[in-house]
Structure 1
Amino acid sequence: MLSQVQQTYPQPIAYAYASIHRARSQAEKLDQILRCAEVTTRYLCALAIASFAARENTTFPPPDALTKFQGNLAFGHFLSVIQAISNLATPHPLQIQFSLCFQKKKALQKVN
């Protein structure tokens, strides 16, 4: 699995994933898992922003999470941008993929 990830995944994600396999202790492994999650979230956030920027309806305003995306950014900021762009009512190139990824979250929000 490691070699498949290294050959097919984007370099930042593949590197972070490989770091999990190189970890020697459970604490180090947990730290690397969290790092890999953050790297993956940042990469997905970049894809979400690019997809939103490529939307056909350029008059549709950016979501609040994107307009406030500045300063000291943490894991939650990147995740909020992904979620906000996933829930937009305007078409963009990766809309289907992102809406499928966050479909369960939408369903949970409707229940609450």
Structure 2
Amino acid sequence: MKELIFDKNSRKVILIAILSVVVIHIAQVVHASVTAEPGSEEEPLVSQSYVDSKFEEMAKKLEEAEKRLEEIEKYGKFEALELNKDQVLIAGASAELILRGGKAWQ
């Protein structure tokens, strides 16, 4: 078998040829992605009703979040109460009570 022997100049020529092919291929891919036509596989279109439905879903989620935030602000604050003798305080399961003075038993 005959061995192929490449001198310095032939190696440069081969390297330039390979790099040229790679650069041309990259340029073609970039050009195809930049010049994609609307409605093609690369650049699909959506209908106005689809976009509107997504905005409605987001608006509903935002309203729910605002309602939850209002509830947290309403019930998440500490409020000082003053009870007179023989008054009874009935609190929810997650209530926190801090006795500031007096007696808390019957």
Give the structure with the higher percent helix: 1
TM-score normalised to the size of structure 2?
0.31
TM-score normalised to the size of structure 1?
0.29
Q: Tell me: higher relative CO, structure 1 or 2? Use CA pairs within 8 A at least 6 residues apart.
A: 1
